[in-house]
A and B are shown apart, each in its own frame.
Chain A
Amino acid sequence: MKNRFLFPCIILLALYSCIERQNFDQYEDLEIIPTVEASILYIESPERLLNEIPGQDFYSQDFNFDGFSVDAFSDRVLDGFVFYEIENTTSKEMEATVEFLDEGGNTLDTQYFHIDPAPTPLVQLQVAYGIGTGRSIEIIKNTSSIKVSVRNLGDNSSVSNLPDPKIIFRSSGQFRLRLK
């Protein structure tokens, strides 16, 4: 009697239970592409120093920068931007050059900035890298160092009437990375 009750129940439950069709291949479509950003390089110099160094070649420095070439970044980066901002409160007209160099010291990319004497607005530049931008992302991947050169096109004696006059170079990067 109990078996007549029990087994139909079990069979009904078994028939009742089901799993709708699942497509686990969808996982292959998953894309994880975050956009990350961070500062790159900051340089500042007081006007006093510009006056102390004679001639036009005020400053030139080659900075080792492994941030772009580490595998965790270079293997995953798709595209992105480098932002530059130059603030000049000195009385000097200047020009600055930023070069991305590869491991062999070869120049991969160059940015040139002309900076008017104060008072002058911020010099801002956004440079894109990646497909369709005119600059290959390979430039970023292969960059091993950044060379910054600043030329003083003004004199070595004038002093800005702005408080604490300086030339300041700021930069940051924003890149998309493919994690999956």
Chain B
Amino acid sequence: MRQVKLVLLSWLLGCFFITAQNKQILYDFTEIPQALMVNPGMSTDFQWYAGIPVLSGISFQAGSSGLTVNDLFADDGVDFNVKVRELAIYGMSTRDELSGTYQVELLNGGFRGRNRDNFYSFGIYNEGDAIGYWFKDYAILAFEGNANQLGRKFDLEHLKTRGEMLNVFHFGLNKRVDGALTIGGRAKIYSSAFNFSSTKNKGYFVTNEGQNNLLANTLDADLELRSSGLNEIEDALDNDTSLLPGILTRRLFFGGDLGFGIDLGFTYKLNKQTVITGSLLDLGFVYSSTDVKNYTIKGNATVEGIEVILPDAFSNSNADFWQDLVDEVDALVPHGTNDKSYIYFRPTKLYGSLRYNWGEPSNPSMDCDCNYIVSKRKDYTKYANGVGGQLYMINRPRGPQAALTAFYLRRFGRALALKTTYTVDKFSWSNIGLGLNLQAGPLNFYVMADNLLAYRNLADSHYSSFQLGLNIISWGKK
């Protein structure tokens, strides 16, 4: 039970930090090395780069599609119970979600190979991801109960959640095939600290008029919560929290569940000024076998209270009818735990974009008193302006989620580039984002923020994200 609470706590924390993983500002922002992480086939002209450890890529994303913090906690004088009932219990649907992601790069670097067409990148990053859909019928049952709701089926499928924390060790190859096409791939080894998921629940709870007695309560359940890595963490939290850093560190560096995945991507120039790109990320899995604890409930039972049919009941008049009823339900709807290993799949992401470039090509040496920024790629032309659209999709427990983005990219010489985006997704239809890339000699700094209109009142935002990073980049000597 405590472990279930731990899962819920992890989920809530995950939800607090949340969200949708879409890095639409970073995507195809070719000045930034971390853009290779969202498209390993990005067109790139770096000679080498080195991320500042821990600071090279930090991103947090948080969102809630159903309601905002302000909806519930605004100091508006409205009864809190009314707000919860109207906005959450009945205001949200089962497709509304709380979800979240963070990433912190521990190490990231890249270098061009002897073959100038090949660029290699590698690194380690830590990632946490959690999603929980609104468990509407569970909430209604908890708030309203089953009284005076004859025939209403409370759908147990509404419980859908998953979450994890892991380290990703990766190595990627970016290869220029010809003047038009660049492809890339990245191999990933996942080392998971913990994960939990409950995504394939089925069944219902219903109260009807009884066949014999006044009421019949029926439970038809097929529920499972799978978890890996939580037991030891729970013990540490209960007994000695000083053990926790050691447990997490060990698990995150190959001492926990391991998995494998790949990223794929490409960039193709339809003509001199038009570019199409695409990438598929985290096509992979983790095999959970350590510290596994799964909770299951499966069966069907209908209860009409204690039933005594005479004269049959005279034969066992000393029986404990209550205990017999409890035992019968236990037998019909067995529940328990097991430690069976399992495989879970990572949330796979898909990006695509179409970009049209125009304007005077950037002068590589403009506004920079250094010798680090000369591209030797004759075909690598950076125009001053770029405009286009992007598609993002991610597989989620309730099926794929999509986001559409329109963007405008403006380069001010080598030193400064701005990208602004307008994104439509389930969280917001007014999501305007802005990314800034600053190149000061070899030092590269980028910062990005999302859903800027919501900054008027962050508590009323359905979605926000923030990314920043610090790198050293070389394009080779002049």
Contacts and interface: CB of A to CB of B under 8 A. Distances in A.
Interface of A: 2, 6, 13, 16-24, 26-27, 29-32, 34-46, 49, 59, 61, 63-67, 83, 85, 168, 170-172, 174, 176-177, 179
Contact of B308 (A31, A39, A43, A46): A43
Contacts of A168: 212
A103 to B, nearest CB: 13
B340 to A, nearest CB: 29
A35 B412 contact: no
Q: Which 6 A-B pairs have the closest CB atoms?
A: A34-B145, A39-B305, A17-B455, A35-B147, A39-B213, A45-B310
A2 B439 CA distance: 11
Contacts of B455: 13, 16-18
A39 B143 CA distance: 21
Interface string B162-176: 000000000000000
A17 B456 contact: yes
A38 B303 contact: yes
A22 B459 contact: yes
Interface of B: 69-70, 72-75, 79-81, 84, 141-148, 207, 210, 212-217, 303-311, 313, 317, 320-323, 367, 412, 415-416, 436, 438, 449, 452, 455-460
B75 A21 contact: yes
From B145, B304, B456, residue with most partner A Cβ within 10 Å = B145
16 contacts: A2-B412, A6-B436, A17-B456, A18-B456, A18-B457, A22-B73, A26-B72, A27-B73, A39-B210, A40-B306, A42-B308, A66-B322, A170-B213, A171-B213, A171-B305, A179-B142
Nearest to A36: B145
Interface of B is mostly: mixed
Contacts of B305: 38-42, 171-172
Contacts of A20: 70, 74-75, 457, 459-460
B357 to A, nearest CB: 22
A30 B80 contact: yes
Given A17-B458, A20-B74, A34-B145, A63 B214 contact: no
Given A30-B80, A46-B310, A170 B214 contact: yes
Given A36-B146, A61-B308, A172-B213, A22 B81 contact: no
B74 A22 contact: yes
B77 to A, nearest CB: 10
B443 to A, nearest CB: 14
Contact of A13 (B308, B322, B412, B452): B452
From B72, B322, B458, residue with most partner A Cβ within 10 Å = B322
Contacts of A31: 81
Nearest to B449: A13
Contacts of A13: 449, 452, 455
Nearest to B326: A66
Nearest to A169: B308
B147 to A, nearest CB: 4
Given A23-B75, A38-B305, A32 B143 contact: yes
Contacts of B146: 34, 36-37
A45 B144 CA distance: 36
Contacts of A35: 144-145, 147-148
A38 B84 contact: no
Contacts of A24: 73
Given A6-B438, A16-B455, A17-B456, 6 more contacts: A34-B142, A34-B144, A34-B145, A37-B207, A39-B213, A39-B215
